Chain A
């Protein structure tokens, strides 16, 4: 099995920086992904880490430490449209690439 822990809620104001942490326990760990989901919508891919370190994609960055079973998503220059749920997900097994999601963090961005 697997377990992932992330905060249930985070709030911030426009223009701020937010970090969403994720700790995990799993066998067959291959990588850590982050997905964004707006209410009632489809999850969309944000970032992926297979190796230790920081991956940067525009305003979003993601970090992974395999030795600590820990990762985070960093969102900079927050905008109102960033209000959504953010899920970390472990990838188990490189062949099929199955994703197992955390419970999600609801981010609310205030003006």
Chain B
């Protein structure tokens, strides 16, 4: 099945530094990837839609200058948390749709294993 790799799985950083998270689709191409944030025991909140070769689309209330998204190829999207603060500590998860999927399969999102960010 389709595999999405997310790296790193866990990162600790100092307040004020920036952290980059990578999301790769390993065996399929994804012109669209998604970034979510999840607090413990809570829902996944869509942060932004990453579009290959164009600007990301951010959900209302998500600071685009704080969460920089780059989708430079059909298999890689990156999320950079800039000037991280303790309140940015969370579980960040990416997902991707298989552009080659047909019918109902094109609506399946494949998720990475997530990145747990702790900002000290």
Using a Cβ–Cβ cut-off of 8 Å, how many residues does chain A contribute to the interface with B?
24
Does the CB pair A96–B49 fall under 8 Å?
Answer: yes
Contacts known (A42-B114, A43-B111, A97-B106); A103 close to B49, Cβ less than 8 A = no
Q: Among residues 75 to 105 in chain B, which have CB atoms less than 8 Å away from a CB atom of chain A?
A: 93, 95, 97, 104
The main secondary structure of chain A at its interface with chain B is strand
Q: Is B28 an interface residue (CB 8 A)?
A: no
The main secondary structure of chain B at its interface with chain A is strand
Choose among A30, A45, A50, A103 the residue that contacts B110 (Cβ–Cβ < 8 A): A45
* Shortest distance from the beta carbon of B70 to any chain A beta carbon, whole Å: 18
Does the CB pair A98–B44 fall under 8 Å?
Answer: no
* Shortest distance from the beta carbon of B67 to any chain A beta carbon, whole Å: 16
A106 to B42 CA separation, bound complex (whole angstroms): 10
Question: How many contacting A-B pairs (Cβ < 8 A)?
Answer: 60
Contacts known (A41-B113, A43-B93, A96-B32); A101 close to B107, Cβ less than 8 A = no
* Shortest distance from the beta carbon of B96 to any chain A beta carbon, whole Å: 11
Query: Contacts of A71 on B, CB cut-off 8 Å?
Result: none
Q: Is A83 an interface residue (CB 8 A)?
A: no
Contacts known (A33-B107, A43-B93, A104-B42); A98 close to B34, Cβ less than 8 A = yes
Contact string against A for B residues 6-46, beta-carbon threshold 8 Å, 1 for contact and 0 otherwise = 00000000000000000000000000101010000111111
Q: 7 shortest A-B CB distances, which residue pairs?
A: A42-B111, A101-B44, A103-B43, A101-B43, A42-B113, A43-B111, A45-B108
B interface residues (Cβ-Cβ under 8 A, vs A): 4, 32, 34, 36, 41-46, 49, 57, 93, 95, 97, 104, 106-114
A interface residues (Cβ-Cβ under 8 A, vs B): 30-31, 33, 35, 40-45, 48, 50, 87, 91, 96-104, 106
16 A–B contact pairs at CB < 8 A? A35-B111, A42-B93, A42-B113, A43-B111, A45-B109, A48-B107, A48-B108, A50-B104, A87-B43, A96-B32, A96-B49, A96-B57, A97-B106, A100-B46, A103-B43, A104-B42
